[in-house]
Amino acid sequence: MLKFNNFRNKIVTKITSTSKFLLLASLSISVILIFFRAPSLAQLPPLKQLPIEEGSETQPVPEIEIEEGSETQPAPEIEIEEDSETKSAPEIGIEEGSEIKPAPEIEIEEDLETEPGPEIGWEFLGSRELNQVEIHETKYKGECPGYSLSSREARFTSSTTPPARKRRVIVRNITRGVASDPYPFTDREYYEGRSSEGTQMIFGTKHHSKYFRVLNGENKFEYEIKERDRVLESGVFTAVIKRNVDVRQRDSYPITKSVCMNSEVPMSLCADIRTITKYKCGSRVIRSFLKPKTPEVGTLISNQTPYSVKYWINNRIQKLSSGSERIYTNNFLNIKFKSCSVGTEDGKNAKECTNQTRSLERGKRYRFTSELDYESLDIEGFPR
């Protein structure tokens, strides 16, 4: 024990502070390297358990006997010279400016583009989409309700069998929900351009000679392209036909005009002109207003002679001075008046008078007239 203490004291005195630091650093690096280079416990194979037979006795570990009085040999002394430098572990450096190569990229090939399928179906003027269109309709509410149907022109096209001379195409609507005896169909020329002759498409369920009937939503069609009697191509395609309904308010509109209360009398001879306002829905009149609203119809009689006239209306005597007029509202007017004429008889002027009778038309303008040289009187229509 005394020898070990003397040995330790010699070493401590010889080792400087710098040497102590370097020694400690080298020992630390050595321990780290040993740790990383040694295999991990996970990599060591598990210990195999030896089988133990039943009834067998386990042998104890043999004891190592140390004789009394025997001397233990001390560990050999390690001398470290003063001022000796310990070499540090080599440092791993990375040169500046050196490029770090990235890990190789794993390339994934993109899916190869598939060739587009053939274009078969309906095309519509003003639309870039094939087999898709909206048909606009109008629903009216208000005083004049109703529904306005509309159509859309469609043309069949096929990129696999383009139009050519003497070709026609027949397209049938075989959608569930349309009449099947026969199916709605169209037979069109298919001889020039990119598509067939146009057909007017409209909503409906039964075949029509003028329109091609379709349903709202997805429709299923079958087609045949023929050259004379030979079928060049046939198949089935679908198209989406959407209904777009625009709801609008529609009320009646007024029309105001002047009318004669007796429609059989022309306006130029009418004595009773009134204003009528009719509210119409198209050609249908839903209500009308007449101003003034009186049931009687007036008939006018005017005296355009230079003297007063005496006459009878429905056997009632009347007198009308020159330049005046009178309106009668009787439904039936019979007028009687005297008319005289002057003639010569035996060299003398002779005056002959007769009673004139007329039946007047209701609602008309009349006037008395006469010749200045004679007392003849007559009644006639009086234009405005």
pLDDT at position 112 over 70:
no
Sorting pLDDT into bands at 50, 70 and 90, what band is 296?
very high
Separation between Cα atoms, residue 25 and residue 291, nearest integer Å: 124
Sorting pLDDT into bands at 50, 70 and 90, what band is 354?
confident
pLDDT at position 372 over 80:
no
Domains of the chain, residue spans = 120-249, 253-291, 299-381
- For residue 32, the model assigns a pLDDT of 73
Q: What is the pTM of this model?
A: 0.51
Q: Mean pLDDT, to the nearest integer, of 39-51?
A: 48
pLDDT at position 61 over 50:
no
pLDDT at position 52 over 80:
no
Tens digit of pLDDT for each residue in 261-270? Answer: 999 999 999 9
Class of domain 120-249: mainly beta
Q: Pick the range with the lowest mean pLDDT from 139-143, 165-169, 341-345.
A: 341-345
